[in-house]
Structure 1
Amino acid sequence: MNNKIPVITIDGPSGAGKSTLCNIIANKLNWHVLESGMIYRLLAILILHKNVPIIEKNIIFFLKDLDFSLFKKRNVSHILQLQIVGETASKLATFAEIRQMLLYKQRCFRKLPGLIAEGRDMGTIVFPDAIIKFFLKANLETRVCRRINQFKTIGLSTNYKKLFEQLKIRDERDQNRLISPLYPSKDAIILDSTNMTLSEVIAYSMTEIKKQSLHDIKI
């Protein structure tokens, strides 16, 4: 791990707004972006496409075919956001060997001038030496509404009650899995965005970044 390259991490549950905040901060700092959930979603798409049973030893075989260039292809954007893809990705994340194999791939995103990484264990496992760690959260009802609005922007529709139960189950799985469970690191900045607008979340985050007074960060 190259400690000379600064990293800012954003962890939190599904629907908290991590991806949006991650990309906005990265754009302001002109840093690279790692949306770790997309790595698992790409693997999930591959598994679903090939009808591979979700058994760890079977899935490991397909890891070598994980093509990151898919991130840049618009024709998979809708597929990446499908609920079945998200649910499959969440299940894949419970396998220890798969997480270990993807750990190296995630750390390869660390390049100059810096990296903004979002996920579930970016600040606790993947980049424990991050210069700033955010833990972004919001209550379940708020996250469900945000996810529904996100789906609408890409032409997808879903039922509130169904999505509520799905996110609730995913929260429980993320928090209770034995490998890399979701929890804030001891040095994380806890940010509850339940009653905050996106502009307020961005402003708060950038203020915290500026407080660091790091020569590596130029705003």
Structure 2
Amino acid sequence: MSDKTIPVLTIDGPSGSGKGTISRHVAQRLGWHYLDSGALYRAVGIAASWADIDLSDASALVRCTFDTEVGFRDESADEPRVIVNGVDATDELRTETAGAAASAIAAIPEVRAALKDRQRAFRQPPGLVADGRDMGTVIFPDAPFKVFLTASADERAERRYKQLKEKGVSVTLDGLLREILARDARDASRAVAPLRPADDAVRIDTTGQSIDAVVERVLALLPERAA
């Protein structure tokens, strides 16, 4: 089976839109593989911090990208554990610091190019659900199924606040809202692969909607595969 015949569902959207949670649930329902593209960028950011690499040093970050080994280990129905250079970095990966580093690194064209093939390698039978910011526009432009999730900035901040508080992380709602708005601006304005819906993506506003409701809406886009 060639890559082009393996179906891909891309789910893009800004931070806090629910794309990670929705993507995992949809992948489980379909029995497809799952790609958390953001975890790759966060992993590089963490590896760079471990190596004391300045995030403004593009050449060093590109070398770090090639040198960083990232693996995913499923242990439950929850999100998979992320192994960076042999170390379980899952908890560190989900911090706001790691997210900010990922956003900065993602603006470097050479880093994006270095990760492109690694992301496309996740396209394996019977299918792939890929979540990120440029899955439908750059990484899998030929994907037959594309979704772009959105939600109000206030709701996205509230979701992130609850998620982090449950993990014991000390944060403020106002601070998270500012970070989300700043990241939206960075991701949408970067020169390479800016955050935007693919022309053929179905847009879904998740504001006020339950996880189950959004999952069903996504699955309805490919009914022959959702049974």
TM-score, normalised via structure 1 length: 0.93
Number of equivalent positions = 214
Tell me the equivalent position of 1:45: 46
Tell me the equivalent position of 2:29: 28
Cα offset for 1:218? 5.2
Contact 1:9 1:127 in 2 (8 A): yes
The aligned runs of 1:1-219 (5 Å cut-off) are: 2-54=3-55, 55-69=57-71, 71-73=81-83, 75-210=88-223, 213=224, 217=225, 219=227
Cα offset for 1:75? 4.1
TM-score, normalised via structure 2 length: 0.90
Q: Percent identity?
A: 35
Counterparts of 1:49 and 1:25 in 2: how far apart (Å)?
34
Counterparts of 2:5 and 2:52 in 1: how far apart (Å)?
42
The structure richer in strand per residue is 2
Which runs of 5 or more residues in structure 1 are unaligned?
Answer: none
Task: Specify the code of the residue in structure 1 equivalent to 2:162.
Answer: N
Counterparts of 1:218 and 1:170 in 2: how far apart (Å)?
33
Q: Pick which of 5-14 and 74-83 moved more.
A: 74-83
Counterparts of 2:127 and 2:88 in 1: how far apart (Å)?
28
Counterparts of 1:60 and 1:185 in 2: how far apart (Å)?
27
Q: Secondary structure at the match of 1:61?
A: helix
Per-residue CA shift, 1:198-217, capped at 9, x if unaligned? 1211121111221xx4xxx2
Contact 2:11 2:131 in 1 (8 A): yes
Contact 2:17 2:150 in 1 (8 A): yes
Contact 1:41 1:86 in 2 (8 A): yes
Counterparts of 1:50 and 1:57 in 2: how far apart (Å)?
14
